[in-house]
Amino acid sequence: MKLHYGWVIVAVGIVVSCIGMGAIMSLGVFLQPMTTSLGWSRAGVSSASTLAFLWMGVGGFLWGWLFDRFGARIVVLLGGLLQGFGLVMASQAQTLPAFLAIYGTAVGLAVGAIYVPLTAATASWFVRNRSLAVSLVSAGLALGTTLVAPLARWLIVTYDWRFAMLTLGLIAWAVIVPAALLLRPAPAEAVPAAAMRGSGVVGGSMTLRQALKTPVFWSLALANFACCAAHSGPIFHMVSYAADCGVAPLTAATVLGAAGLAALSGRIICGLLADRAGAKRVLVACLTLQAAAIALYLLARDLDTLYAVSVLFGFSYGGAMPLYAILVREYFPAKIMGSVFGVVAMISTLGMALGPPVGGWLFDRYGGYGWLYVASSMIGVAGVLIALTVRPHRPLLPVVASAA
């Protein structure tokens, strides 16, 4: 039986997402080494993550718009070239402003070229198994945290942080650029017209301007914002928090890796559940679990408890993340998928940008991360309430299964 090429797109998405997002999500591993060797504050270094996520949001919209017009191959190719450049140049920065400008702008823009276009491209190849396919690509993001963060920590301990960041840049060039060449646009027959009529997507002639005026768009965007604002701080400061609890440096990085591995399984399991129970129901459950898991960090002091809470936390935020793209695809037509999801992602990255510097500021101000977990859990609860306002989508006609 001939392999449906959509699964090749999924495989490319997993690999590219792993390398692309892994580099930006592992900046927390560099936090202590950089502050120790350069004398920069935690809040200062954390600001690089803030800028990166802000530019990732802007880039997500711009790259999504370009994806709708030129396809994923050229967008991801340019993103891979830019990410390698940003990491290589940032590894040589001698001042904090230079590091913030190079890392924040180049790496952030590059990741925007990876996340949104690959998600939109995958969704365009599938009707049946769409939730699973998108979740598998999203699993690459978690795989990046699981693999890249420990690799970066090992390189830092063995050499130094500059060598580690330089290596990540070279890996980005070596992996993302050739992988992008395998990307193809979905043929018209990949998503039959009958299936589209039954997919629940309304307004086939809807424009981006019209989409931005719908209540469901803002419910999804704000829920994604709250979700990201809740988990960004705990993720970024996880390694530093574990180290402050007395965990050895290399072992502390494995706590983040455990959360990433749990997020990987969460994406796959929740994607399967979404195909059966509906994406909205699964999203609300994940956001509820995330808020509870963040609060449990207040009780985590030893290594075993840190592992347990991080696994619960990783599963919850990992399971939630691909569901926004699935819901966007359910409510909006394929021709504006990249642009609409790009705007949703841009708004969500504002939330991702808040956690690292606020967490760093709270640590510098109060000498600990307690207030970070309190605030993040409360924001997580707000995300649950917003997600509940998303009205269940109802198919117009029975879905006609496609080959995918």
**pLDDT tens digit string along 254-291?**
888 788 788 888 988 998 898 888 889 999 999 999 99
CATH assignment at residue 304: 1.20.1250.20
User: CA 244, CA 363: separation in Å to the nearest integer?
Assistant: 11
pTM flag (> 0.85): no
pLDDT for the residue 392? 65
pLDDT for the residue 193? 42
Task: Answer yes or no: is 400 within a domain.
Answer: no
Task: Answer yes or no: is 198 within a domain.
Answer: no
In the block, tokens 């913030």 appear at 100
* 400 burial via Cβ count (<10 Å: 0-12, 13-18, 19+): middle
**129: alpha, beta or left, given left = phi > 0 and alpha = psi -120 to 50?**
left
Sign of CA dihedral 337, 173, 11, 259: negative
**Can you count the helices (H) and strands (E) in the chain?**
17, 0
pLDDT at 403 over 80: no
The string of DSSP codes covering 75-102 is HHHHHHHHHHHHHHHHTT--SHHHHHHH
Q: What is the mean pLDDT of residues 212-226?
A: 94
Q: What is the pLDDT of residues 87-139, one digit of tens each?
A: 999 999 999 999 999 998 999 899 888 878 898 888 888 877 787 888 888 88
Name the residue range of residue 222's domain: 6-186+205-387
User: CA 186, CA 400: separation in Å to the nearest integer?
Assistant: 18
Task: Answer yes or no: is 193 within a domain.
Answer: no
Q: Which residues are within 8 A (CB) of 343 and not within 5 positions of it... i.e. 6 or more apart?
A: 61, 64, 208, 212, 217, 221
pLDDT at 215 over 80: yes
User: CA 294, CA 377: separation in Å to the nearest integer?
Assistant: 6
What pLDDT band is residue 27 in, cutting at 50, 70 and 90? confident
pLDDT at 304 over 80: yes
Task: Answer yes or no: is 194 within a domain.
Answer: no
pLDDT for the residue 394? 54
Structurally, the chain folds into a number of domains equal to: 1
Task: Answer yes or no: is 248 within a domain.
Answer: yes
Task: Answer yes or no: is 256 within a domain.
Answer: yes
Contact 209, 359 (CB under 8 A): no
What pLDDT band is residue 45 in, cutting at 50, 70 and 90? confident
Q: What is the mean pLDDT of residues 361-385?
A: 92
Task: Answer yes or no: is 195 within a domain.
Answer: no
Task: Answer yes or no: is 196 within a domain.
Answer: no
Question: Which structure tokens are listed for 347?
Answer: 């708004």
Neighbouring C-alpha atoms within 13 Å toward the C-beta of 110: 30
Beta partners for 126? none
| Element containing residue 330 per DSSP (H, E) | helix 303-331
Question: Which structure tokens are listed for 289?
Answer: 């679990």
From 61-70, 248-257, 265-274, the region with the lowest mean pLDDT = 248-257
| Between 150 and 302, the higher pLDDT residue | 302
